[in-house]
Amino acid sequence: DGGITQSPKYLFRKEGQNVTLSCEQNLNHDAMYWYRQDPGQGLRLIYYSQIVNDFQKGDIAEGYSVSREKKESFPLTVTSAQKNPTAFYLCASSPGANEQFFGPGTRLTVL
Amino acid sequence: GQNIDQPTEMTATEGAIVQINCTYQTSGFNGLFWYQQHAGEAPTFLSYNVLDGLEEKGRFSSFLSRSKGYSYLLLKELQMKDSASYLCAVSSDYKLSFGAGTTVTVRA
């Protein structure tokens, strides 16, 4: 089955710890994206990558880091510098400039 | 910057019609998307408009006026399963900018 997978679905971490969220796609899409969603707010873009070994900051990149070493994978690290990391994180991929396909999301809770 | 506005909440009765408006002011425009998102789940694609006019897809239709920076999503013959959040998103420079979403509640 083709699609986007994110793991785990729920993640708990202690304050001050870095945590890495996984995103994998087998759709052969060039572009991948990370969004954050908070209650009552829309999706906000954290980082995006249009091609392997290249990525750009989105609107709220502070406290986050990414890598794009393989076309299929775009992991997101939430660092201790992120002031309010508890949120729902969504990964998406796209074949080009249009429709984005979303993974199931990871709900991160920092205790 | 990007500014995308849509109502926060709407309530309608099963079998009725609901229209969700979206207005936008963005630095670029390659098209407008509507997504449906059930609570705790990923958004799923509903419609895409790049030219002015109405796009119809079953019970869902979407309209775009680029000169007015305006779109709407029309949901017909509402069903209980249509209770969800509906997200308006504008595409520009390979990125999507999202509105805050409109929560639609369908009542029996």
Q: For B50-103, what is each residue's pLDDT tens digit?
A: 999 999 999 999 999 999 999 999 999 999 999 999 999 999 888 899 999 999
pLDDT confidence band for B13 (50 / 70 / 90): very high
B28/A63: higher pLDDT: A63
* Whole-number pLDDT of residue B1: 67
Task: Report which of A78, A68, A60 is spatially closest to residue A13, judged by C-alpha positions.
Answer: A78
Contacts of A108 in chain B (CB under 8 A): none
Instruction: Tell me the residues of A at the B interface, defined by beta carbons under 8 Å apart.
Output: 31, 33, 35, 40-45, 48, 50, 58, 88, 90, 94, 96-105, 107
Measured between CA atoms, the residue of chain A closest to residue B32 is A98
Q: Which of A42, A94, A104 sits opposite B42 (nearest CB)?
A: A104
Task: Report which of B16, B21, B17 is spatially closest to residue B6, judged by C-alpha positions.
Answer: B21
Are A105 and B41 a contacting pair at CB < 8 A? yes
CB-CB contact of B88 with B24 (8 Å): yes
* Whole-number pLDDT of residue B23: 98
B44/A98: higher pLDDT: B44
CB-CB contact of A105 with A94 (8 Å): no
Which residue ranges of chain A lie beneath pLDDT 70?
Answer: 1-2, 97
* Whole-number pLDDT of residue A35: 97
Residue type, B51: L
* Whole-number pLDDT of residue A81: 87
